Structures are given as C-alpha cells and as structure tokens.
Chains A and B, each alone.
Chain A
C-alpha cells in the first residue's frame, strides 16, 4: 500500500480507474439491509455472471428514499440512469434481463426524483 503525500496525492487521484460503462449500485445501509438489500445484491452478482452481462455491481449508502427500499441505481450506456425502488429478487432479475440486457426500462419500479434534488458539484 502506498503512503499518500502532498506530492503524490493528485497523481493517485487521477490514477483511480473510472467506473465501468455499466454499473448497478445497491443501497446497503441499515434500512436497505433490513428491507432485503443483501439478497438483491447477491442476486445481481450471481445472475449477471450466469447471464454473462458486463456490469459492475457496487454497494452504496442511503439514497434518501427510505420508503422505497431496497433501492438500486442503474447506469447502462445508452439508457437514462434511473433508480429502482422496492426491488426484490424477481425485479432484480427483470432489471438485468430488460434494462441491462435489452436496454429497456422496467415498468412500475422507477423512483425518478432527478428533478427534485440539486447536488453540490465538484
């Protein structure tokens, strides 16, 4: 493990590989896990492998919409990035097949709050 110094800090930062083109983030805070995020995460990892899909499965913290846990955010090239809520095993498989596989959004589970939030930029 390298020790970061004021000299090499920026170099380390630029050297961090960019996230893959396709990724799925699963909200894994206490409330997500209580709602079943563990199983959803496992399903994504196993099924993506089975289906030979190139997609990074990542964990993240609270997305804020705790009423709709488990929450997952999906980014696939050429498809708008969206958040799905109330995801279970079956819906996770559907997301992989439809959203990742055929680049079509899945009905009834999108929680689109993109126009309700400003984030502090870099």
Chain B
C-alpha cells in the first residue's frame, strides 16, 4: 500500500472540539491494523467544511468524508485507506463556492518578481491585443464579457471605453482608482499588493482600446506597501520595454505615473479624483460632462477601479464569451469581498456573481463567530444598506442587492449578529459620511448633519415619534439634490435599516430601549441586592458619585446621577450590577 495521509477536523458547531479524541482513536485503530508506519494522521485547523461533524480527508485522492461516527472509523481504514474504495454514504461533495479570477495570482506569485508574473501568463493578453486586435475588437470582447465596474456603480466597462474611444482628441488618459476609502474594505489593496502587474496590464489594454498614451495610478497614501509594489512593477515594466515607447516593438506607446491620495473618502469619487490629480482641491464637479468625454485637463479620461482592471487580462486571454458564462444574467464574472464582522473566517473571498449570502456566510465564512444568531449582512459600506437574515438565500448580484435596498458597492461585507444594534450601525455610517462630506453642496452638508443629530437623539433616548418621518424627508432631499455620489447615497444605511428594522427604531424611541445593548444612553444600571457581596468596589469606581452606601447596609445606585459609563458593571466581580 502507498503511503497515505488522513487529515481530520471536528467541524461540529456549538459542541466541544473533539479532534484530539478522534485523532487518538484513529491512531489506535491503525496500530491494531499494523498500519501506523504507512499512514500519517494529521489534525488540521480548518478543513474547508463547516458543521459537518468529524470530517476526514484521505490523501492522495482527496476523498472527503463528513459526519463520521466512531463506528465508521474502522471501515474507513479497511475499505478506503487499505482498499481504495469510496464509502458513498459518508462522502462529501467539494464545497467549491469560490472562484478566483481577480485573485488568480494573489498568494501564488511573488508580486515583486517580474518573471513570476510572465510565467503565470502575464502580459500575454497585452501582447495578443496589441499585435492582433484593433481597438474596436477589444471593446467587442469586453461587451461580450458583460464586465461592469467594480468600484461601486456597476457601469458597463465597454460602454465607458467606447465613449472615450469615439471622442477625437490628441491626448487621452486612463486612471486607476485605488482610493478605496470604505471603512473595512481592503480588496483593492490586496490586489495592488499581491498582483500589481495584472492591474498595470489591464490598464494598458484599456489605454490601447481608447487611444490613451498616459495613465495614472491614484492610490491612497495610507497604502504604502501597495504604492511600493506598483512602483516596483512599473519600473520593471519599463526595464523590459513593456512601458514607454513602441511597446513590444509595436506602434503602441504608453507611460504611467503614480499619484497619491491624501485619504479623503470623497477623493474616490471620479470628478474629485481628477481634480486632485490636476493638483486642485479634491471636490466633485457636476456631471455631465462625463470624464470619458471631458476629464483630466479637459481630455477624454477613463477611470476604472483596481478590481475592474485586474479582470481585463483574463477576459482578453480567455475571451469575453467565456467570462460572460460566469455569473447571472446581468452581472457577469466574480466579485471580491472583504468578509468581516461576526464571522469565523474573516478574509478576502471571491465568488461568482449569483452566489447566495448563505453560502458566503456559512460555507465560506465558516458560520457565525459566537453562538449568537445572524441578524443581517451589510454590503456597500457607507453607500449601501443591510440585508436582513430573511434574505440569506438571495443571490448576490448588482440588480438583486439593489432590489433589496442595498448595493454591491466596492466589496465590503459585514456580518452582524444579535449583539449589533442596527440604529447604531446606521449612525456609524452616516457619521462617516458627515465627517467625509466635502461641504461643497448644501443637501449633503446640512442634510447629513441634521439627520445625524436626529439619530443621536434617538440613540440617547431623546427621540420623538416624528423623527422617523423627518429623517425620510431629509434622505429624499439628499438623494435628489446632492452633487455627488457621497451625498446621494449617504442616507442609504438609514433608509435600509428603517425599512427592515423599524421595530428597533421604535423601541429606541418609544420604550427607550436598545435590545442589542449597544446604545449606551439607553442602558439602565442597577445593583442586584441578592448578588451584591457589599464589597464596595462599585462605589470607589464610580467617579460620578452615583453610588452611595456602606459595607454594612449595602449600596444603592442613583439613576438620576448615573452617566451610564459602565465602569461599575465592569469592575463588579460578583456580576451584581445589572445592565439593560
């Protein structure tokens, strides 16, 4: 018998991890069969399946068994390990929920090694395009692919390119938007750091298609490693003659420079971004004219997101039709998400469009972090909304997320459980937008501020019944009258939480209660006399003089003086302080 390896992991949820016990059991059985030297048993930390009981994987061959019971162990050894027979009743189907197109090279190649990228078919698409394709043919391929912008709005990339291509101008530009300002998002950073050449190659193909001879990378200064890796990659491309004059000995010439963003969220908006590259203040401009007609220094300019560009080489190499088969009817390809929140496996994932939220949370994310139930999933960051758990089986694509009152956005995905207060979440995102508003237009500047103060009232127990209607009115004005996407979408988190979690708003306003226990000012602290051991620790720790008493008579907490700082709750060793 060839040497075999058995990987094992107890994937049960909510019970103690018995991986070690099963490990010893298998070792003993193997010894009984005198197989201890030809089989290595290995405990693993993650086996890629969740809530499937004991999972065993036998290598070579990748036969994977789930819900394995103690009594199954002997048959697994004699029939599968020795006899190479698959036990159908235990076999698990591969859990192939992820598909890596954008992240194809991330974690595979050395991002600082030019030949690593070439060996992974790098610049092969560029070579094909500039030696075999006319610009129109590139755009045709993109049209067939159905690729839409990954920066948030989901505008068809081929249309943007086609507009810019059709304008006659002696100078055109292409810009990569690497500003990534959404809180919690780091998809673009990872691509820039992990596979910089693919973004450069995507940009060059775009430049060829529209007729641009100059490109800019706009990357936020808070991403020093991304900047360094792009810088190195650009220098390498120049050395090898892939940038500069007469690339690969053709008529195509193209230069690239890097511009650093100062980290203002609004600078990710395309017109503000262009102003910033021109050396002006990064404030938005009314559109039209759209940048693809009149952009940098008045010249036609295409702005694409990092992830959009990283898709381009694969599309041109494998063909637009191939890409067009992946995903849903109107959303093609894959989407990268930064999966975070109350989830076991937070990280960067890439899934075909149309994957359900449930698959993402439970089959990729490994399920919820604590035993607390899932409440909602937030997508689209400060411009997005929440999707409550009733919609876990909805597929993720542009249209569907919009229908649910959220947006695809650039790829932040935050999983929330019973401990998260949706009013508080809405306040967090709105506060972000208010702080990041450039102040140029009144609906965003004033509307955002007013809406935030209403939310602050609600979360501190001062909300009134008319507040919700007021917020809806302000939201409408901001959506309709703001100059740029920031103001137009800033109320989305509020509107979507109002839509699905109106009851939570109501209990904040009417009952002055926050069920999740998040809103500090709605909490009431009380000393439970039965549990109180009269140690006096709370008294010495309350700097507001809200606790009085002594070791004989016990202690009393005066709600009128209490500032709800939570200090007494934290210090009491006997859990004698009740919060609620």
By a beta-carbon cutoff of 8 Å, the part of chain A in contact with chain B is: 1-7, 9, 12-13, 16, 25, 27, 29-31, 33, 58-68, 71, 73, 80, 85-86, 104-120, 122
Q: Chain B residues near A64 (CB, 8 Å)?
A: 98, 103, 106-107, 347-350
What is the CA–CA distance of A104 and B41 in the complex, to the nearest angstrom? 10
Beta-carbon contact of A120 and B119 below 8 Å: no
Q: Chain B residues near A9 (CB, 8 Å)?
A: 123, 127, 248
What is the CA–CA distance of A111 and B48 in the complex, to the nearest angstrom? 8
Q: A6-B127, A64-B103, A116-B96 are in contact. Are A111 and B46 (CB under 8 A)?
A: yes
**Contacts beyond the supplied A60-B106, A67-B346, A118-B98: 8 A-B pairs with Cβ under 8 Å:** A13-B124, A29-B193, A58-B110, A60-B111, A61-B111, A68-B347, A111-B44, A120-B318
What is the CA–CA distance of A109 and B19 in the complex, to the nearest angstrom? 13
Closest A residue, CB atoms, query B229? A61
What is the CA–CA distance of A65 and B98 in the complex, to the nearest angstrom? 12
Give the shortest distance, in Å, between A30 (CB) and chain B (any CB).
Answer: 5
Beta-carbon contact of B106 and A4 below 8 Å: no
Beta-carbon contact of A2 and B127 below 8 Å: no
Give the shortest distance, in Å, between A15 (CB) and chain B (any CB).
Answer: 9
Q: Chain A residues near B45 (CB, 8 Å)?
A: 68, 85-86, 108-111
Beta-carbon contact of B104 and A120 below 8 Å: yes
Q: Is B109 an interface residue (CB 8 A)?
A: yes
What is the CA–CA distance of A12 and B375 in the complex, to the nearest angstrom? 54
Give the shortest distance, in Å, between A26 (CB) and chain B (any CB).
Answer: 10
0/1 string, B306-350, CB within 8 A of A gives 1: 000000001000100000000000000000000000001111111
Closest 3 A-B residue pairs measured CB to CB? A61-B194, A63-B107, A3-B241
Q: A64-B348, A111-B44 are in contact. Are A116 and B240 (CB under 8 A)?
A: no
Give the shortest distance, in Å, between B176 (CB) and chain A (any CB).
Answer: 17
Closest B residue, CB atoms, query A111? B46
* Interface size range on B against A: 35 or more
Beta-carbon contact of B109 and A2 below 8 Å: no
Q: A60-B108, A116-B97 are in contact. Are A68 and B46 (CB under 8 A)?
A: yes
Q: A3-B240, A6-B249, A115-B95 are in contact. Are A29 and B118 (CB under 8 A)?
A: no
Closest B residue, CB atoms, query A105? B42
Offer 12 A-B interface pairs, CB within 8 angstroms, sorted by A.
Answer: A9-B123, A16-B115, A29-B190, A30-B186, A61-B195, A63-B107, A68-B345, A71-B107, A107-B43, A108-B43, A117-B98, A120-B104
Which secondary structure characterizes the binding site on chain A?
loop
Q: Chain B residues near A63 (CB, 8 Å)?
A: 106-107
Closest B residue, CB atoms, query A31? B186
Give the shortest distance, in Å, between B237 (CB) and chain A (any CB).
Answer: 10
The stretch of B56-64, B149-157, B536-544 that contacts the partner chain: B56-64
What is the CA–CA distance of A7 and B249 in the complex, to the nearest angstrom? 9
What is the CA–CA distance of A116 and B360 in the complex, to the nearest angstrom? 11
Q: Chain A residues near B60 (CB, 8 Å)?
A: 80
Pick the contact of A117 from B100, B225, B241 — CB < 8 Å? B100
Q: A5-B248, A65-B345 are in contact. Are A113 and B48 (CB under 8 A)?
A: yes
Give the shortest distance, in Å, between B236 (CB) and chain A (any CB).
Answer: 9
Beta-carbon contact of A112 and B44 below 8 Å: yes
Beta-carbon contact of A85 and B241 below 8 Å: no
Q: Chain A residues near B104 (CB, 8 Å)?
A: 119-120
Q: Chain A residues near B127 (CB, 8 Å)?
A: 6, 9
Q: Which residues of B from 326 to 383 have beta carbons under 8 Å from A?
A: 344-350, 363-364
Q: Chain B residues near A118 (CB, 8 Å)?
A: 96, 98-100
Q: Is B131 an interface residue (CB 8 A)?
A: yes
Pick the contact of A5 from B96, B249, B350 — CB < 8 Å? B249
Beta-carbon contact of A112 and B110 below 8 Å: no
Beta-carbon contact of B107 and A27 below 8 Å: yes
Pick the contact of A61 from B97, B106, B346 — CB < 8 Å? B106
Q: Most chain-A CB neighbours within 10 Å: which of B44, B109, B318?
A: B44
Beta-carbon contact of A116 and B193 below 8 Å: no
Q: Which residues of B from 89 to 129 have beta carbons under 8 Å from A?
A: 94-101, 103-112, 115, 118-119, 121, 123-124, 127
Q: Chain A residues near B350 (CB, 8 Å)?
A: 64
What is the CA–CA distance of A84 and B44 in the complex, to the nearest angstrom? 9
Beta-carbon contact of B107 and A61 below 8 Å: yes
Beta-carbon contact of B193 and A59 below 8 Å: no
Pick the contact of B46 from A31, A66, A104, A112 — CB < 8 Å? A112
What is the CA–CA distance of A79 and B565 in the complex, to the nearest angstrom? 56
Beta-carbon contact of A115 and B96 below 8 Å: yes
Beta-carbon contact of B98 and A116 below 8 Å: yes
Beta-carbon contact of A117 and B194 below 8 Å: no
What is the CA–CA distance of A26 and B298 in the complex, to the nearest angstrom? 45
Q: Is B454 an interface residue (CB 8 A)?
A: no
Give the shortest distance, in Å, between B428 (CB) and chain A (any CB).
Answer: 22
What is the CA–CA distance of A59 and B5 in the complex, to the nearest angstrom? 27
Q: A110-B44, A119-B100 are in contact. Are A80 and B5 (CB under 8 A)?
A: yes
Closest A residue, CB atoms, query B346? A67
Give the shortest distance, in Å, between A76 (CB) and chain B (any CB).
Answer: 13
Beta-carbon contact of B240 and A4 below 8 Å: yes
Closest A residue, CB atoms, query B237? A4
What is the CA–CA distance of A59 and B108 in the complex, to the nearest angstrom? 9
Beta-carbon contact of B47 and A112 below 8 Å: yes
Q: Is B512 an interface residue (CB 8 A)?
A: no
Give the shortest distance, in Å, between B340 (CB) and chain A (any CB).
Answer: 9
0/1 string, B194-210, CB within 8 A of A gives 1: 11000000000000000
Q: Chain B residues near A4 (CB, 8 Å)?
A: 123, 240-242, 248
Give the shortest distance, in Å, between B90 (CB) and chain A (any CB).
Answer: 15
Give the shortest distance, in Å, between B198 (CB) and chain A (any CB).
Answer: 11
Q: A6-B248, A7-B249, A80-B60 are in contact. Are A61 and B100 (CB under 8 A)?
A: no
Closest A residue, CB atoms, query B326? A120
Beta-carbon contact of A65 and B241 below 8 Å: no
